[in-house]
């Protein structure tokens, strides 16, 4: 057949099928734009295969007619559809292979890990500087045989004041003014409350510390915050004297700041101790010569202390004729601020991680 003859030849069923296939096959690409597109083309290619080669395809219908064709033309007729079937099958198979290769490659790329990429390091948390300080103090006292008491932050006036020998109207209530609930409870203004609870619960002899949160109606400024942390200490036994108090606090500062650290006791007044003393320790930075940290004095204030007042023992049902004891109260955050040279104590409570991260 010449080209011209071919053009003029009427369209045969085989031509029609081939044409229809070409029209539909055209839209399949070799490299789809994305993984979902590739997967979609693969699915549609299967549909195309069924449409043109399946049992219900026109090709199948034509093949069924082979038997009824004039035996002289039967061979040619069969050959035409056999060729057509082979062509379509080959075209679809090739396309399918390309698409499968593409989908597999993209999936593998997506799932593979680039080991040269910089990692995203999980940032481990760490303890708050106040917690670190509290734990150091706890460890020291536990090693000295003290129990660690944890107690309530909401109190009655009895525990916060009366039992601590601060009756109503006593001027010592003023600087310890706190926050009250509408039904008469108070946020404790000192951890000294735990002395009473612990003695009521466990009697004497007793050795305990009570770290915890306290509250005062102070206006926040660089050295004050309405909420802060203290550690209370209490040791009650037969024959306890001021010497035991001094020895214990000397041991504390030796372990916290080094064995060369000295202590100094200044006479003072607290309602719940008699006699009472403020405790200072020699500056950990300059050793007592005077520097910026100790504001030139060579000494840093640790807290208050004294011999437990007999009224306090009585309020907790401990017989002051039989037992004596010492007590002390230290500021945890104050000590923290001093050690880390913070010029504003409130930084410890703002919980800005960029700040806190510096102290681990
Ligand atoms: N409770 C006192 C305060 O908050 C501190 C204190 C002083 C506690 C002397 C004591 C002590 O146990 O003996 O200021």
Residues 266-281: tens digit of each pLDDT: 999 999 999 999 999 9
**Ligand 1 centre distance from Cα of residue 330 (Å):** 7
**Which residue's structure tokens are 């002289």?**
72
> Percent of the chain beyond pLDDT 90?
77
**Ligand 1 centre distance from Cα of residue 249 (Å):** 14
Q: What is the DSSP string of 161-216?
A: TGGGT--TT-GGGGGG---B-TTS-EE-S-TTHHHHHHHHHH-SSEEEEEEEEEE-
The atom number, within ligand 1, closest to the CA of 234 reads 12
The atom number, within ligand 1, closest to the CA of 272 reads 13
pLDDT at 211 over 90: yes
pLDDT value at residue 1:
56
The closest residue, in CA terms, to atom 5 on ligand 1 is 329
Quick check: CB of 304 below 6 Å from ligand 1?
yes
The rounded distance, in Å, linking the Cα atoms of 111 and 72 is 60
Quick check: CB of 165 below 6 Å from ligand 1?
no
Alpha helix stretches (DSSP H) within 29-70: 35-53, 58-64
Bond into 119 cis (ω within 30): no
Relative orientation angle of helices 242-257 and 129-143, to the nearest 10 degrees: 130
Comparing CA positions, the residue from 209, 172, 167, 205 lying closest to residue 192 is 209
The atom number, within ligand 1, closest to the CA of 233 reads 12
Q: Tokens in use for 341?
A: 């040279």
pLDDT at 2 over 80: no
Locate the DSSP E strands across the chain: 147-148, 154-155, 186-187, 206-215, 227-237, 263-270, 273-282, 299-308, 324-331
pLDDT value at residue 3:
63
pLDDT at 5 over 70: no
The atom number, within ligand 1, closest to the CA of 164 reads 1
With beta carbons less than 8 A apart as the criterion, state whether 103 and 35 touch.
yes
Predicted TM-score of the model (pTM): 0.69
Quick check: CB of 328 below 6 Å from ligand 1?
yes
Nearby residues of 2 by Cβ (< 8 Å), 6 or more positions away: none
**Ligand 1 centre distance from Cα of residue 331 (Å):** 10
Q: What is the DSSP string of 80-96?
A: HHHHHHHHHHHHHHHHH
Quick check: CB of 232 below 6 Å from ligand 1?
yes
Residues 314-339: tens digit of each pLDDT: 999 999 999 999 999 999 999 999 88
* Through-space distance between the first and last CA atoms of the chain, rounded to whole angstroms: 92
pLDDT value at residue 133:
95
Residues 139-149: tens digit of each pLDDT: 999 999 999 99
Quick check: CB of 190 below 6 Å from ligand 1?
yes
pLDDT value at residue 32:
86
**Ligand 1 centre distance from Cα of residue 143 (Å):** 22
Residues 88-97: tens digit of each pLDDT: 999 999 999 9
With beta carbons less than 8 A apart as the criterion, state whether 195 and 327 touch.
yes
Residues 14-62: tens digit of each pLDDT: 999 999 999 999 989 877 889 999 999 999 999 999 999 999 999 999 9
Quick check: CB of 298 below 6 Å from ligand 1?
no
Most confident of 26-30, 175-179, 196-200, 354-358: 196-200
**Ligand 1 centre distance from Cα of residue 233 (Å):** 9
Q: Tokens in use for 34?
A: 């994305």
Q: What are phi and psi of 172, to 5 degrees?
A: -70, -10
With beta carbons less than 8 A apart as the criterion, state whether 107 and 35 touch.
yes
pLDDT value at residue 11:
84
């Amino acid at each position: 057949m010449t080209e011209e003859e071919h053009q003029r030849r009427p369209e045969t069923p085989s031509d029609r099928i081939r044409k229809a296939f070409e029209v539909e096959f055209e839209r399949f690409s070799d490299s789809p734009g994305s993984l979902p597109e590739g997967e979609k083309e693969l699915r549609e290619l299967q549909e195309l295969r069924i449409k043109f080669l399946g049992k219900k395809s026109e090709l199948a219908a034509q093949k069924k007619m082979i038997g009824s064709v004039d035996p002289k033309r039967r061979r040619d007729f069969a050959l035409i559809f056999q060729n057509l079937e082979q062509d379509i099958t080959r075209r679809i198979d090739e396309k399918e292979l390309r698409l499968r290769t593409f989908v597999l490659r993209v999936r593998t790329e997506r799932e593979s890990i680039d080991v040269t990429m910089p990692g995203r390091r999980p940032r481990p948390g760490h303890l708050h500087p106040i917690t670190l300080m509290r734990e150091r103090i706890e460890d020291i006292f536990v090693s000295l045989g003290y129990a660690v008491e944890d107690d309530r932050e909401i109190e009655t006036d009895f525990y916060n004041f009366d039992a601590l020998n601060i009756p109503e109207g006593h001027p010592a209530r003023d600087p310890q003014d706190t926050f009250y609930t509408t039904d008469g409870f108070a946020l404790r203004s000192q951890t000294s409350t735990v002395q009473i609870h612990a003695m009521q619960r466990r009697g004497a002899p007793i050795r305990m510390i009570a770290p915890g949160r306290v509250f005062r109606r102070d206006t926040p400024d660089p050295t004050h915050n309405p909420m802060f942390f203290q550690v209370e200490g209490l040791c009650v036994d037969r024959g306890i004297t001021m010497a035991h108090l001094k020895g214990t606090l000397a041991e504390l500062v030796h372990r916290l700041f080094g064995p060369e650290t000295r202590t100094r006791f200044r006479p003072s007044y607290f309602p719940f101790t008699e006699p009472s003393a403020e405790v200072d320790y020699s500056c950990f930075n300059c050793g007592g010569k005077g520097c910026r940290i100790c504001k030139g004095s060579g000494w840093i204030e640790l807290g208050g202390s004294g011999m437990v007042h007999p009224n306090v023992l009585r309020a907790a049902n401990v017989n002051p004729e039989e037992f004596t004891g010492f007590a002390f109260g230290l500021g945890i955050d104050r000590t923290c601020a001093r050690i880390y040279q913070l010029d504003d104590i409130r930084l410890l409570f703002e919980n800005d991680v960029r700040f806190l991260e510096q102290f681990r």
